[in-house]
Each structure stands twice: as structure tokens, then as C-alpha cells.
Amino acid sequence: MKYVLLSFLFIPALSLLGQNSAASAKLEIKETIQGLFDGMRAGDSTKVHQAFKDEVRMLSVYTNKKGEERSQEATLSDFLKGVGTPHDAIWDERIGKMTIAVDGRLAQAWVPYHFYLGDHFSHCGVNAFQLMKEAGHWKIINLTDTRRTKDCPSLD
């Protein structure tokens, strides 16, 4: 009987531990993603690079001026070069509420955004991140974004 009572105390404690672990992972993922955007605003390619695994896939989905649905792949090295090359306007990607799901060392985050060049609105859409935990750190392994100039998602 004593063991049955102890199990009723132990099982909820394990459940709380799992919830704390998931909350901790989500916080770490948010920090990784926020670090990417902070680095972009600062023009700091080293800080941006820290958010990514070197073997990342980067893809943009958009509609061209002819109304055709397109996708365009980019490389991390080109992106880092763009971030680190001095430019007149700050790259300011303003993000909304992140929706994050975690399963062990794999996570995904859905993040609406509005992108500004300085104070000038450029485009908006959603970033779909996939991340993996490696050597104690969450790294982006896939980033797909949508791009458009109207019907922007809410950042609330």
C-alpha cells in the first residue's frame, strides 16, 4: 500500500518535470530565433550564424509579378554575406507570437513577420523553422518563409 501511495506522488512529479523541460526547450528555441533577428538588425553575421546549423536549407515561397507561384532556395553563406555587408537601412524583421512544437531534439516554430528596411515596409509573411538540439543548443536546420506585400499576418 505504501508503494501505491508513493507512486501517486511520484507520477505527477514526473509530469511536472516534463512540463518544465518542454517550457525550457521552448524558451531556448525562442532565444535562438530572437538571436537571429537581433543579429540581422545589428548587421552581425557572426551572431546570425550562431542560430543555424551549417547544413541548413533556406527556401522562400512567393508569387511573382506575373502571378506565378514560385520558390527560391538560398544558401546560408549568401545570407550571412548579405547580413554582414554594410547597408544603409537596418534589416528589421518584426515578429509576432511564435507557435512552437517540440518532440525530443526536434522542434518547429511558426512565426509571422513584417520586414522593414529601416522605417520602410518591404514585405511580410510567415517563417516556418525546423530546429534540432545538438550539443546542448537549438540550431535552425530548415527555414522556409512566405513573402508578400499585402494581407499581412497579425503580429499580435
Over residues 83-120, the pLDDT tens digits come to: 999 999 999 999 999 999 999 999 999 999 999 999 99
Look at residue 156 and tell me if it is in a domain. Answer: no
The CATH number of the domain holding residue 77 is 3.10.450.50
Look at residue 155 and tell me if it is in a domain. Answer: no
pTM of the model: 0.85
Which has the closest alpha carbon to 62: 156, 155, 151, 154? Answer: 151
Worst-scoring range by mean pLDDT, 1-15, 21-35, 58-72, 126-140? 1-15
Look at residue 152 and tell me if it is in a domain. Answer: no
Overall domain count for the chain: 1
CA distances from 31 to 25, 57, 83, 124 (A): 10, 20, 19, 21
Over residues 127-136, the pLDDT tens digits come to: 999 999 999 9
Place of cell 511580410: 124
Does residue 20 register a pLDDT over 50?
A: yes
Look at residue 153 and tell me if it is in a domain. Answer: no
CA–CA separation, 104 and 64 (whole Å): 38
CA–CA separation, 48 and 28 (whole Å): 15
